[in-house]
A and B are shown apart, each in its own frame.
Chain A
């Protein structure tokens, strides 16, 4: 595993890189010489094209074969976001998407494209977290609120959401409300403007606790965090906040049809959460939840690509 050093605390358990290197510096190193396949998962997917072009040009100039390059968004996307993600990876040999829904949409879009227009082979590999929750749910009711960095986008809306969660916590002291960042956390800053306002049962979690808490929670609330899919997969009660509409800007288009979108004013408080339905299983499966052998599918596809034109 090669990558740049990560800034800030990550929301996932720490895993060290074998080599800390900026992706563009890879081209000048010998790291790629013995790679059988290269996966590019970059913060800025616009860099994918430059790296694939550079890698292939260097290898060909030395008369060497080129390893298949694969990439893909690590979260299920829909609509314009999915199309953008695909177009940024046209130079790859293989693109992985999460589910059959994404596969169908991209295949329909490209089915009549001219043969000379190069495009990656597509496969669906499911989600990037385990299908089975690492721990059983907590016996005491717990809501994990996944707080996103930039969403909701309206000025002050995230703070407003936190104030509402604090109020719910005060009203239902038998529940624990966890404010959990779903993104790297660069400082020990508190979510709540005034932490004194946090009742004892409203707590702020450290970033690396996210997956553990999602597996132990009773319910998971989020505007559009892709990590809420983990809670959905693990059978927890999902609440996708529908107050901000189904808008690309809020990334809520990715959750259209999930069956777990609610307006906060309809919920009324924590005590009502356990009456809410689980996720629309048909939707979840089409988004990738029905795929259990994603890594195997990837390896088989890479093997077939390696035995094709790019093989030594």
Chain B
């Protein structure tokens, strides 16, 4: 079992966390990172991306009574591994650490976040100095919500879509589909303000109003409060979603960049998300502080 600073849920003192963990098929996600094929496509993001979108062209998704594609269900992100590192990752040498992983970034083609030079340096500093906010049970932000360990449940109801996670200690997002405008930029939220619409069979979600305090992964990749995330969710077959997110943040990146990974339906009948308290049983944050790490409060922009 992998226990790293990226997964506070695994470190809960409460015994019930163990039960939730043992129940969850996503635990085996650690092993499934080596699955070479998902939905008939190569599982590496750069190859999955064009292959899955090609398959989606000929797939007719199930539909809700109002005719929109039915994306409802409980979804696992078996290859995203909770985002240990969104770039190429050589592996974590600490005991029980993560194995190597291939970047989920499909654009730019080098698979690296297009940081301004100061921002690349900030990212290096993040790893050395700061605690991953998620390891303190703070909300994941987006797109980490979609890559996080264990499952997320998508529910379509009237003019809104909810996305509710099991892990990370109670987090969720409500996506409004009713054409309302975004919140005033004065509002800064961990999970942002999500508005959605349909582009053919693809659910498009645009999220703004972030607070710039979370990381994408355990390895210090970050954004500012100017971030806009545009997600695209497309059914490839009845049980696989092509998940794509494009990040724009003119304060931190030289250009927009895009990640892709598959989401897989949990097909177990009667599967239920369980309670995962996080902060309530969190004792490892104190360990990080003792280890000299500091809470991360957001990027420090160059003067």
A and B: partners?
Answer: no
> Which B residues lie at the A interface, using CB under 8 A?
none
> Which A residues lie at the B interface, using CB under 8 A?
none
